[in-house]
Structure 1
Amino acid sequence: MKPSLPPPTAQELAHSAQLVALLRAEMAAQGPMPFSRFMERCLYAPGLGYYSAGRIKFGAAGDFVTAPELGSLFAQCIADALIPCLRELGPEADFCELGGGSGAFAEVAMLAFVEAGVLPRRYRILEPSADLRERQQERLREALSTELFARLQWLDRPPEESWSGVLFANEVIDALPATRFTIRDGEVFEEHVSVDESGRFVICDRPADTLVAGAVRHVERDLGREFDEGYRSEILAQLPYWMQAVLGSLGSGIAMFVDYGYPRAEFYRAERNDGTLVCHYRHRAHADALAWPGLQDITAFVDFTALAEAGNHAGFELVGYAAQAQLLIACGLAQRFERARIDADEATAYGLAQQVKRLTLPGEMGEKFQAMILARNIPPAALPAGLASISLARRL
């Protein structure tokens, strides 16, 4: 146990022990487990994984805070950015949010669409977690009118039928199960998790399969250099296939991804030789992904160059890439802030100012978080206003 982390309760430890037993049983039957599989089980194992169990994840009572949880400004600005696309595509357009969190984004976005007179035909939330889905439904049923709530639809998997509209994902890519790789004697090895003699989880490396090795060599070719001996990092070898599954049926529209990450050249800097993996537990960040399975979030930063490549592979054009601060400012953050502050009391005004700081300051979310916009079969008028002037796509 790490002394800097508050200890779990007895009930939490008992919950984690159930997942630990499940993981050990799989390792006993199949041998060392790829880290990506370990991460997937820790986050999504039915009833036991971090996102599948009932513990609060978001906000002050959880382990971390996402932009929609800070207040309404983030969702209002993102909705404003995407309204031109919904207006261009007309009343048959849908809005699809990947991973609805607490439902905070959907609540504010729907009201912003009403304000603009551009309601999507359906607001779909692709949410694999039964626990989070229940929380979202409870919140939105209370917050929205019966008419607006009737437009909401929860999905277990991406739409298979062709559709048009907008897909939005905030802090989704970082939670995809990441492969950890390393270089040994010039060869690509993949990080696995096994059990030592005392029953503890430990890391071991095994030769990478063709998919992972090929993905690593592609990155090396794109960077124009080979990784140093012992270099260790993350890669999403399955990202092109995931992107095709998520975006393949979107015939015309926009996909926007907001997440923390870097362009490839920065992601794989030589000095960043142990990757970007980070765990969140009760608002503390640390690097021990093997601690307390099921009780902590496990994430990795996003290689936005890989995200753009996967979008192109799925038939989408990269139309914008910018720091979150620049995108929100271009989409009217200052105007939204001033409108909200007009009739606000002192405490509310202070809270709004704190939102702006958290969303835009470089040391907060402003530059750490990036936004990428992909488009297919829509005219330039349907893109967010001012996007061309702030795009940093050349950095990819």
Structure 2
Amino acid sequence: MQIALYEPGLGYYANTSPKFGPMPVSGSDFITAPELSPLFGQALANQVAEALAATGSAEVWEFGAGSGALAAQLLRALGEKVRRYHIVDVSGTLRERQQAALAPWKDIVQWHDTLPAAISGAVVGNEVLDAMPVQLLARVNGDWYERGVALHGESFAWADRPTSLRPPVGIEGEHDVVTEVHPQARAFIATLAGCLRAGTGGAAFFIDYGFPEAEYYHPQRIGGTLVCHRAHQVDDNPLIDIGRKDITAHVDFTGVALAAQDEGLTVLGYTSQGRFLLNCGLADLMQAASLQERANAMKLLAEHEMGELFKVIGFAAGGAQGAEWAALGFAEGDRSHRL
């Protein structure tokens, strides 16, 4: 999965395909919330502004900035509240697009290939955790295997080998199951936590599709969540068209929360994207928008669109008000108790 997505010149996020866009005719494969509606970034900016005030900082960090749309929305909405906007992105081709999109803010935007030792301010990541490579586990006739990739002639095929790896919670029943574990996402969160603790105060917000572990490893979820996106269609075979389509897995938000807590961060909250955006003032923003803009923004909120499947989790470390402060986005509908 790492090679298929990130191998220089060959991986999906390393090639020049459009990726982000509203319709297949553009050559894109999927659309994310910032491309769907600028109101997404404007609402998120209210939470980021609060985080900057709480941590006494004027710096924003974005991971996996994609097309640069979210960065532009945040920069436009936050104005002078931001002294420096940092982007950490492993894709050189996407960095070029981001630089073009963010040209008006070229004096305050800075790109990084790796994490610094310390981070202060507000961190955001929209659909970044789902793009981190996972390991597949398969329970077959009661025995657990790690499912990997083997060369079969001139093509690829699945291959299983016995493993001591297990899901973080037991999956009830004796039926066959395929699922995922997320060591890279957890390691990323743990590393970020160390950077935030080394800083003068910080908060992080991640928006992505996923579940708490009780839902993720529910006995009825027998096929896991690994899927591919190409031309706005979904398939479940990552062994074909390698490098030409996105490969993604849903986020285990319980695992993410535990990784952060284990490294000393406080969980500010966890809720659905719809509730988070409403808490951040999206309804008021929609009132001043055109009919088409409202229709697009409704897709961010509706349960059958992005409003329920996508979740938001927030963390904090230190700062002017300490690590524990009431974050705007989780004021109502906080589901931290379900993690």
Q: Could you tell me how far 1:386 is from its partner in structure 2?
A: 5.8
Contact map agreement 1:240 1:314 (CA 8 A) in 2: no
Is it true that 1:240 corresponds to 2:196 in the alignment? no
Matches within 5 A, 1:272-291: 272-291=221-240
Q: Could you tell me how far 1:381 is from its partner in structure 2?
A: 8.4
1:130 to 74, 92, 99: 92
Q: Could you tell me how far 1:264 is from its partner in structure 2?
A: 0.8
Counterpart in the other structure of 1:359 = 300
Is it true that 1:393 corresponds to 2:336 in the alignment? yes
> One-letter code of the match for 1:46?
P
> One-letter code of the match for 1:274?
G
Looking at structure 2, the residues matched to 305 and 228 of structure 1 have their Cα atoms a distance apart, in angstroms, of 24
Between the aligned residues of both structures, percent identity stands at 37
Q: Could you tell me how far 1:101 is from its partner in structure 2?
A: 0.5
Q: Could you tell me how far 1:244 is from its partner in structure 2?
A: 2.0
> One-letter code of the match for 1:99?
G
Counterpart in the other structure of 2:215 = 266
Contact map agreement 1:99 1:169 (CA 8 A) in 2: yes
Counterpart in the other structure of 2:155 = 200
Contact map agreement 1:85 1:383 (CA 8 A) in 2: no
Alignment RMSD (CA, Å): 1.7
Paired residue total: 330
Counterpart in the other structure of 1:42 = 4
2:314 to 343, 363, 373: 373
2:106 to 119, 142, 149: 149
1:240-277 per-residue CA deviation (whole Å, 9 max, x = no partner) reads 32222233111322111100011111111111111011
Q: Normalised by the size of structure 1, how large is the TM-score?
A: 0.80
Counterpart in the other structure of 2:49 = 83
Is it true that 1:107 corresponds to 2:72 in the alignment? yes
> One-letter code of the match for 1:358?
K
**Partner-residue secondary structure (3-state), 2:328:** coil
**Partner-residue secondary structure (3-state), 1:250:** helix
Runs of at least 5 residues in structure 1 that lack an aligned partner in the other structure: 1-38, 342-348
Looking at structure 2, the residues matched to 358 and 386 of structure 1 have their Cα atoms a distance apart, in angstroms, of 18
2:126 to 155, 170, 176: 170
Looking at structure 1, the residues matched to 205 and 174 of structure 2 have their Cα atoms a distance apart, in angstroms, of 34
Contact map agreement 1:361 1:367 (CA 8 A) in 2: yes
Hey, which of these two has a bigger chunk of strand by percent? Answer: 2
Q: Could you tell me how far 1:229 is from its partner in structure 2?
A: 4.3
Hey, which of these two has a bigger chunk of helix by percent? Answer: 1
Q: Could you tell me how far 1:219 is from its partner in structure 2?
A: 2.2
Q: Normalised by the size of structure 2, how large is the TM-score?
A: 0.92
Contact map agreement 1:316 1:374 (CA 8 A) in 2: yes
Runs of at least 5 residues in structure 2 that lack an aligned partner in the other structure: none
Counterpart in the other structure of 2:59 = 94
Looking at structure 1, the residues matched to 207 and 128 of structure 2 have their Cα atoms a distance apart, in angstroms, of 8
2:282 to 322, 329, 333: 333
> One-letter code of the match for 2:81?
V
Mean Cα displacement is larger for which, 361-370 or 305-314?
305-314
**Partner-residue secondary structure (3-state), 1:307:** helix
1:306-339 per-residue CA deviation (whole Å, 9 max, x = no partner) reads 1111111221111200100000001000111123
**Partner-residue secondary structure (3-state), 2:168:** helix
Looking at structure 2, the residues matched to 262 and 381 of structure 1 have their Cα atoms a distance apart, in angstroms, of 24
Looking at structure 1, the residues matched to 253 and 173 of structure 2 have their Cα atoms a distance apart, in angstroms, of 19
**Partner-residue secondary structure (3-state), 1:375:** strand
